[in-house]
Structure 1
């Protein structure tokens, strides 16, 4: 099979297109013939700083395709099913930048007949991260479904990013009021297309003042991409028993929180890394995200606020570079090309 691999950490130049034996699924595993691979920031960060195993590493965590074979203990009825895949490369050698991957069966989710493979490959890391960010506050339910966030207000800092887009779509599916911040008129259009109820351009508007106009009691959840830059804002708009969920470190590696002002509302400042979140939280996130997909509530593409940038497998290095450079939208690798 054709696969992208690297045998040492480094820049995009370490990624090589090679021919490798098609992997066989072991007990409890399935082999998926992939259609698309999704590229996330953690993919290039892992490639840059993590030593791969002696046989090399196939990068990328997310993907979508068709179950082709099953290992011992897995129901063969799954063969031929369309699925999306999450965390394929987490502590495993077979990521999704290849024609085939092998993963534990629990890391494949039935995609249904209507959702595209492009959508499936865009789900994993961004949507599971967004789900965690939307459910860590003590005042909010730990499951998402239609109506579960009715009467609640969510602030998505960076509403045009992949996780921001996912948070907007999931929160709106759950009937929350969603306020998104962006840095340009074009990104404002993307956040609105994703479903944001209100959009604030933080380069031209006072975020605290605008949020207070929209929600006098504050916001119940903050999905935060840049905590070092936004901590002072977040501290002023968090509602009683709300949570600031920090899933990235855009704009700085250290965050300063005003202690006294956060004690009054019993605010929670929560760090989020999807790979190491509690098992139950991951399991229910997978279930809830897939329920939203089956409801038709999750979309990709320009009209969903998430432009797609698709590269052939041989240009996976360019796909990684695009994510590293901060391209707006979702980067996918078409592994069939």
Structure 2
């Protein structure tokens, strides 16, 4: 199907992928939201005109969402509830699906999040002001978990609170392990980890027996060293998460859960939800990509489009 893009979400992988394609016509960005304006053979004609959110648009393809129209397999265009903005729809995709995988990969956890599926569990989210961290906080709280998160500044603490974190720890001014253990004396069940090489000792110190560290990011050259006996005796698990290679059923469960959370209001976007939007026009795509790699910029970069249905010279079938 072909989608008329209304907003394109920018992720770190989009910025880091620049220059890696041999195709000079490569268009970046995995995530987005828009309106289906044309469907191909084998697709339900009723989907034409449907509002959708998009994910993995440019994974192993050269045509992402940073353009007015994008053609994708129908399975990557998910119905967007009428009460959810295109900006929010473009913000979920890769971050929310990664967060869902991290939250459901542990021992005895649910395969698909829904209200009360994490009731009684405690989650530590490292980096609660980032896109994946924000989604993890929101999804975990929607599913009933208690959530403690780490941030580096008071400003980011405000954002993590807005996302719904129960306890926010400033890792520059507090002893993280001590603060997390005070919040969860029995330990945390899952750590959603953005910096596993740097935080492994803290994670090991705060995990409950049978707990899981789900890590989804790294810097070039990062290595992880663990005390084998100390990890083995309490049956701790260290699980890498690379969204594009997870089992098909896990991806399907994630899409279903994210869609339900959006409809329920359990997954929101913008500053009031702890993830400020930084909007760029299409001609400033380079600046939008640069912003997601800038450590001084907190929030979500979006490329937004005017309603180009009314533009002269644009053909619509």
User: Normalised by the size of structure 2, how large is the TM-score?
Assistant: 0.94
Separation in 2, partners of 1:93, 1:226: 29
Separation in 1, partners of 2:219, 2:271: 24
Note the C-alpha offset of 1:107: 0.4
Contact 2:21 2:62 in 1 (8 A): no
Q: Corresponding residue for 2:312?
A: none
Separation in 1, partners of 2:306, 2:22: 25
Note the C-alpha offset of 1:250: 5.0
What CA deviation, in whole Å up to 9, does each residue of 1:38-72 have, x standing for no partner?
A: 00000011114x2233x521110000000000010
SS in 2 for 1:58: coil
Task: Give the alignment partner of residue 334 of structure 1, picking from 297, 304, 313.
Answer: 304
Q: Corresponding residue for 2:17?
A: 46
Separation in 2, partners of 1:250, 1:191: 23
Q: Corresponding residue for 2:159?
A: 190
Task: Give the alignment partner of residue 121 of structure 2, picking from 152, 169, 182.
Answer: 152
1:153-192 equivalences under 5 Å are 153-192=122-161
Q: Corresponding residue for 1:264?
A: 233
- 5+ residue gaps, structure 2: 308-317
Q: Corresponding residue for 2:246?
A: 277
Note the C-alpha offset of 1:251: 9.0
Task: Give the alignment partner of residue 287 of structure 2, picking from 318, 322, 329.
Answer: 318
Q: Corresponding residue for 1:21?
A: none
Contact 1:179 1:200 in 2 (8 A): yes
1:223-302 equivalences under 5 Å are 223-249=192-218, 253-302=222-271
CA RMSD of aligned residues (A): 1.2
Q: Corresponding residue for 1:37?
A: 8
| Aligned pairs, number | 306
- 5+ residue gaps, structure 1: 1-29
Note the C-alpha offset of 1:257: 1.7
What CA deviation, in whole Å up to 9, does each residue of 1:2-60 have, x standing for no partner?
A: xxxxxxxxxxxxxxxxxxxxxxxxxxxx1000000000000011114x2233x521110
SS in 1 for 2:17: helix
User: Normalised by the size of structure 1, how large is the TM-score?
Assistant: 0.89
Contact 1:226 1:251 in 2 (8 A): no
Contact 1:38 1:60 in 2 (8 A): yes
Contact 1:225 1:246 in 2 (8 A): yes
SS in 1 for 2:239: strand
Which runs of structure 1 show a deviation greater than 3 angstroms over 4 or more consecutive aligned residues? none
Work out whether 1:100 is the aligned partner of 2:82.
Answer: no
SS in 1 for 2:133: helix
Separation in 1, partners of 2:230, 2:7: 46
